[in-house]
Amino acid sequence: MVASRGAGDGPGFAVAPRPLSSRPSVLALVGAGGFLGTLCRWGLRRLVGERGGWPLATLVVNLVGAFVLGLLLEALSHHRDEGLRRALRLGLGTGFCGALTTYSTFAVEVVMLADGGNRLLALLYPCVTVAGGLLLALAGVLLAGRGSRAQRGAATAPGAVGDAAIGGRAAGQGPAGRGRAARAADPGRTARGAGGGSAERPARGGRAARGERGGR
């Protein structure tokens, strides 16, 4: 709880916003993503298993998770972390990918390979996992960045700019817009109108003065 008093406020306390980690909706979102990620990892393990001594299922889920995380976080980094984007980050990034990938199982498998006498595979397996994960995460970042640049380019394309200009011209077709356009087309009209009014006032003053002398 954080004390908060402003100008003109009475004494009191303002409760600080609850952190995301303690909000039930966020916990439910991460939990649902984690449940789906765990199911996918279990299904891949049953489907793929081991091939030639390689713990292929763990390798696949870690590489796929690295790619998805790179793609997702780069795509979301260009926008505010709120609403649907925050839900995607928490549900798909933290929940799903966090449960899909497993470095604890990866570490246990490396130790089991080394203890089983397969020292070469125990050396290659972590190298392929780490290097492959970094490369795939980078590929996801590059792919998401390319998509973001293409989206920004489409928004600033000549057609989009032309549509905005047409919309502006359409907005200027009303009475006020036509009046502004007429004044812009003939700026002398405004000057003549102002000058005519000024010349008319002295002329009226002269006629009044002559009438007064005639009366005398």
Q: Which residue has the tokens 């609850």?
A: 18
Residues 33-57 have a mean pLDDT of 88
> Does 214 have pLDDT greater than 70?
no
Q: Using alpha carbons, list the distances in angstroms from residue 148 to 74, 76, 120, 145, 157.
A: 9, 10, 42, 5, 14
Confidence at residue 152, expressed as pLDDT on a 0 to 100 scale: 72
Residues 94-120 have a mean pLDDT of 92
pLDDT in tens, 146-193: 877 777 777 676 655 555 445 555 444 555 555 554 555 555 554 454
When pLDDT is cut at 50, 70 and 90, the band that residue 137 belongs to is very high
Q: Long-range pairs for 121-130 at CB < 8 Å and ≥24 separation?
A: 121/53, 121/54, 125/54, 125/55, 125/59, 128/59, 129/59, 129/62, 129/63
DSSP, res 22: G
Type of residue found at 212: E
Across the chain, how many H-helices and E-strands are there?
A: 9, 2
- How far apart are alpha carbons 123 and 134 in whole angstroms? 17
When pLDDT is cut at 50, 70 and 90, the band that residue 197 belongs to is very low
Overall residue count recorded for the chain in this entry: 216
Helix (H) or strand (E) holding 122, with range, is: helix 119-155
